[in-house]
Homo-oligomer: A and B are copies of this chain.
Amino acid sequence: MITAPALHVYDTTLRDGAQQEGLNLSVVDKLAIARHLDELGVGFIEGGWPGANPKDTEFFARAGRELDLRNATLAAFGATRRAGSRAADDVLVRALLDSGAAVVTLVAKSHTGHVERALRTTLEENLAMVRDTVSFLHGEGRRVFLDAEHFFDGYTSDRAYALEVLRTAAEAGAEVVALCDTNGGMLPGQVAEVVHDVHDALGGAAAQHEVRVGIHCHNDTGCAVANSMAAVDAGATHVQGTVNGYGERTGNADLLTVVSNLQLKLGHELLEPERLREATRLAHAISEVTTVPPYSRQPYVGASAFAHKAGLHASALKVDPDLYQHTDPGAVGNTMRTLVSDMAGRASIELKAREAGVDLSDRPEVVAGLLATVKDLELRGYTFDAADASFELLLRRTLEPGSLQWFSVESWRVITDARGDGEALSEATVKVTAGGERHVATGEGNGPVNALDQALRAALTATYPEIERLELTDFRVRILDASHGTDAVTRVLIETSDGETTWETVGVAANIVEASWQALSDGVTYGLLRHGVPIR
């Protein structure tokens, strides 16, 4: 464990992040994500709202038994006691204690309008709710953080009251007062001003109780990251966010972007460098648990973050990568990529071929031909950006027409059917010639692609037992909208694994099953190429 950093890195993926449209995390999902967050080295993991959300009550119970956190401290989120009750008697407050979390983060109203119209209580009672709940939990040995909800709007509406809420919490024992831009409407300059003022206003209380000012931003103005950084610049020492910027509406501040900026650009030591190097891998691992497709243009960890396309840039990249990159992708575990595309100059094609182990530097006519072919295929919907294996197959077939023919396909067919409301079954039959013989095989699966995959492998296994180790591990479909009257085409990307590494192949066709077949067939072909299997 690293020594306590100057800045708290506080992750709320499992609580605020979970409020994203379409996101549904099971308890098992949450435990998996918590492990990844711990691996990343964040200081705090806000696990949820035990008591209010039964799944979260279960999460904390199981976390205590099953999680072996090395770096992070678990925090339970919840509300101050209900108006007119005692903290010790409040069922939900008790649930926060019962969760066993060492940290409890309490959300409290700091906007007079919300106190009066949403909570429907008095300003004084709200302060008492804060005071009582914080001191009760503090007295029970918990570290208490305060989330001052709607703080910035509240400050604008009634500065004195907003500050009073913070002071009340600090005096009652809160270690952090996090200013939340709950509606997400703030801009960086405004945030800086307010945080400066809060930091000064808490001066006395801060010195006495060692209270940290925290920041919690949403991305409604596209400035969540900038707002968070402006706050740190103005004195905040506790930053909240979510991995991959998950969250309600436009999401919370992307914690990895904020951390990478602070660490790589401004020299703050937040995560051990070797942990920051795991950022890309862990951000993707977490998106696999959430099933939210990764956003390729995400700063630092996105698949496209260091992917260079313009032919112009690729020429310069050959000269010196630092001419076109703002930081070393390796620092966050990402890699520089050059993309093949119709914007690509010959330089991009050459670079890509070099990545595939083929030197085309003295074959300009081949490069030109490939470029033309790529442009044409891309017009039809193919994308080689995300399908390196397909590009390599195209390259090799261009260099040596008629090669890579481990098998030839006579026909394929898939039947999917169901009775009434019952479950559907897919059955595929594939007829191929391999090793000089005709093979007919049938496969069944929980879907057409699955069935085709089983059938193809069954048809090839006698000739190529090497097929055994290949496995279809991912399948992505995109329906490309029709432009101007022509039929829509489907683009399918398939990921195949041989147990050590994976590769992606693409298929494009009007028919989704045909597009899948293309990608599947190439995925298998590439596997045979990669393992140097002789054509039998």
This protein's copies in its complex? 2
A289-B483, A410-B419, A448-B416 in contact; A22/B305 too (CB < 8 A)? no
- Known: A265-B221, A319-B118, A423-B511. Contact between A19 and B310, CB under 8 A? yes
A219 to B386, CA, bound (A): 21
* Residue A401 interfacial (CB < 8 Å): no
| Beta-carbon contact of A326 and B248 below 8 Å | no
Q: Mark interface residues in A310-354 (1 if CB within 8 Å of B CB, else 0).
A: 100101100110011111000000000001011100000000000
Stretch at the interface among A170-178, A208-216, A225-233: A225-233
CA of A493 to CA of B410 in the docked complex: distance in angstroms? Answer: 34
Question: Does A426 lie within 8 Å of B222, measured CB to CB?
Answer: no
Whether the pair A304, B250 counts as a contact (CB closer than 8 A) is yes
Within 8 Å of chain B (Cβ to Cβ): is A117? yes
Known A-B contacts A22-B386, A409-B421, A423-B511; the reply to A295 vs B296 at CB < 8 A is no
Q: How far is the CB of A477 from chain B (nearest CB, A)?
A: 4
Q: Does A145 interact with chain B (Cβ within 8 Å)?
A: no
A residues 402-447 touching B (CB-CB < 8 Å): 408-421, 423-426, 446-447
| A394 in the interface (beta carbon within 8 A) | no
A408 to chain B, nearest CB (A): 8
List residues 254-312 of chain A with CB under 8 A from any CB of chain B. Answer: 254, 257-258, 261, 265-266, 288-289, 291, 293, 295-300, 302-310
Q: Are A230 and B299 neighbours in the complex by a CB distance under 8 Å?
A: no
Q: Mark A184-196, 1 if CB is under 8 A from B, else 0.
A: 1101110000000
Contacts of A341 on B, CB cut-off 8 Å? 21, 24
- The answer to whether A413 touches B415, judged by C-beta atoms less than 8 angstroms apart, is yes
A18 on the interface (CB 8 Å rule)? yes
- Given A291-B480, A309-B21, A323-B114, verify A511-B426 contact (CB < 8 Å): yes
A43 CB-CB contact with B under 8 Å: no
- A512 CB–B CB distance under 8 Å: yes
A490 to B308, CA, bound (A): 32
Q: Is A100 an interface residue (CB 8 A)?
A: no
Q: Is A89 an interface residue (CB 8 A)?
A: no
Assess the A484–B447 pair: CB atoms within 8 A: no
Proximity bits, A443-478, B CB within 8 Å = 1, else 0: 000111100000000000000000000000011111
Residue contact B423 to A251, C-beta cutoff 8 Å:
no
- Inside 8 A of A481's CB, which chain B residues have their CB? 288-289, 291
Query: Which of B188, B297, B323, B476 interacts with A249 by CB under 8 Å?
Result: B297
Q: Of A121-129, A160-168, A377-385, which binds chain B?
A: A377-385
A235 on interface, CB distance cutoff 8 Å: no
The interface residues of chain B lying within 8 Å CB-to-CB of A339 are 21
- Option from B313, B418, B449, B476 in Cβ contact (under 8 Å) with A514: B418
Q: Is A510 an interface residue (CB 8 A)?
A: yes
A47 contacts partner chain B, Cβ-Cβ < 8 Å: no
Is A20 interfacial (CB-CB < 8 Å)?
yes
The residue of chain B having its C-beta at the shortest distance from the C-beta of A221 within the complex is: B261
Residues of B near A383 (CB, < 8 A) are 22, 24
A305 x B114 contact (CB < 8 A): no
A51 to B319, CA, bound (A): 25
Chain A residues with a Cβ closer than 8 Å to the other chain, count: 125
Q: Which chain B residue has the least Cβ–Cβ distance from A287?
A: B481
Determine if A502 is an interface residue (Cβ-Cβ < 8 Å): no
Is A412's CB under 8 angstroms from B417's CB? yes
Q: In the bound complex, do residue B448 and residue A448 qualify as a contact, i.e. CB atoms below 8 Å apart?
A: yes
Measured between beta carbons, the chain B residues less than 8 angstroms from A289 are 481, 483
Residue of A32, A222, A378 with highest tally of chain B CB at under 10 A: A222
Cα-based distance from A296 to B288 in the complex (angstroms): 18
A474 cross-chain contacts in B, Cβ below 8 A: 479
- On whether A324 and B183 interact (CB within 8 A), knowing A411-B420, A512-B447, the answer reads yes
Contact B113 A323 (CB under 8 A): yes
Give residues of chain A (105-120) contacting chain B, Cβ–Cβ below 8 Å. Answer: 113-114, 117-118
Chain B residues near A448 (CB-CB < 8 A): 416, 448, 511-513
Given contacts A221-B261, A222-B261, A411-B418, 16 further A-B contacts (CB under 8 A): A19-B343, A21-B386, A150-B323, A187-B265, A189-B230, A221-B257, A221-B265, A248-B309, A249-B306, A250-B299, A288-B481, A412-B417, A415-B415, A424-B513, A476-B479, A477-B477
Q: Name the 9 nearest CB pairs between A and B, nearest first.
A: A185-B326, A226-B226, A424-B514, A413-B417, A222-B225, A222-B257, A183-B326, A446-B510, A424-B511
Query: Would you give 9 A-B contacts (Cβ < 8 Å), ordered by A?
Result: A21-B339, A182-B324, A187-B261, A188-B226, A222-B226, A223-B226, A249-B307, A416-B514, A448-B512
Which residues of A approach B to under 8 Å, CB–CB?
Answer: 18-22, 24, 26, 28-29, 32, 53, 113-114, 117-118, 150, 182-185, 187-189, 219-227, 229-230, 233, 245, 248-251, 254, 257-258, 261, 265-266, 288-289, 291, 293, 295-300, 302-310, 313, 315-316, 319-320, 323-327, 339, 341-343, 378-379, 383, 385-386, 408-421, 423-426, 446-449, 474-481, 483-484, 487, 490, 509-514, 517
